[in-house]
Structure 1
Amino acid sequence: MTVIVRDLRPDMRADTEGFTRVRQLALPFILFTPESVAYDAAHAHPDAHFRPLVAEEDGEIIGTAGVSLAHESAEPGQGHVNVYVHPEHTRRGAGSLLVRAAEEHLTAVGATRLLSWVLDEPGNHAFAERHGYRKGRSAHFLRLDLAQGALPPLQDPPPGVELRTGADFADDPRPLFELHAETTSDEPGEIDIEITDYEAWLEETWRHPLLSHELTSVALVDGRPAAFSAARTDGGTRYGTAMTGTARAFRGRGLAKLAKNHSLHRARTAGYTEAITGNDAGNDPMIAINKWFGYEICATEVHYVRELG
Structure 2
Amino acid sequence: MGVVVEKLDFAAAAQVDRHGLYEVATAWAAEDAPDREQAPVEAYIAMWESRNDLGFEPARFVVARENGKIVGYAQAEVSEAEANSHLALVTVVVRPRHRRRGIGTALLRATPSLLDRQTVIESWSVGPGEPGDHFAAALGFRVVTSMTRQRLRLTGPPDVAELPAGYELVTWKGAAPEEFVEAYVEGLNAIAGAPFGETALDHAHNTVESIREDEAEALSDRWVVLLLHEGSAAGVTVVERKSARPEYAEQLHTVVLPAHRGKGLGLLIKSRMLHELDGVETVFTRTSSENVHMLRVNHALGYEDQYTYMAVQAKTADLQA
TM-score range, shorter chain: 0.7 to 0.9
- After superposition, where does 1:6-155 map in structure 2 within 5 Å? 6-10=7-11, 12=13, 14=15, 26=29, 32-40=43-51, 52-55=60-63, 57=65, 58-60=68-70, 62-68=72-78, 71-73=81-83, 77-85=86-94, 94-106=103-115, 109=117, 111=119, 113-117=120-124, 118-147=126-155, 152-155=158-161
* Residue 239, structure 1, aligned to residue 252, structure 2: no
Aligned equivalent of 2:281 = 273
TM-score, length of structure 2 as denominator length: 0.75
Q: Describe the SS at the equivalent of 2:296.
A: helix
Q: Deviation at 1:18?
A: 5.8
**CA distance in structure 2 between the partners assigned to 1:18 and 1:166 by the alignment:** 38
Give 1:178-197 correspondences, 5 Å limit: 178-184=186-192, 186-189=194-197, 190-191=199-200, 193=202, 194-195=204-205, 197=207
Contact 2:148–2:287 (CA under 8 A) maintained in structure 1: yes
What CA distance in whole angstroms lies between the structure 2 residues aligned with 1:276 and 1:226? 24
> Residue 288 of structure 1 aligns to which amino acid in structure 2?
R
8 Å contact kept, 2:194–2:291:
no
1:113-155 CA distances to partner (integer Å, 9 max, x unpaired)?
33222122422221102222123321111112224xx664233
The farther-off stretch of 2-11 and 299-308 is 2-11
Q: Does 1:298 align with 2:298?
A: no
Greater mean deviation of Cα atoms: 134-143 or 56-65: 56-65
Does 2:224 match 1:216? yes
Cα 1:258/1:201, change in 2 over 3 Å: same
1:166 aligns with 2:177: no
Answer whether contact 2:61 2:114 (CA < 8 A) is retained.
no
Instruction: State the alpha-carbon separation in 2 of the partners of residues 122 and 164 from structure 1.
Output: 43
How many residue pairs were aligned?
Answer: 296
Q: 1:12 to 1:105 in 2, by over 3 A?
A: closer
TM-score in terms of structure 1 length: 0.78
Q: 1:271 to 1:77 in 2, by over 3 A?
A: closer
SS at match of 1:282: coil
Structure 1 unpaired stretches of 5+: none
Gaps in structure 2 of 5+ consecutive residues? none
Q: Structure 1 pair 165/34, CA: closer, same or farther in 2 (3 Å)? A: farther
Which range moves more in the overlay, 94-103 or 28-37?
Answer: 28-37
Partners of 1:19 and 1:64 within 8 A in 2: no
CA contact (8 A) 1:23 1:64 kept: no
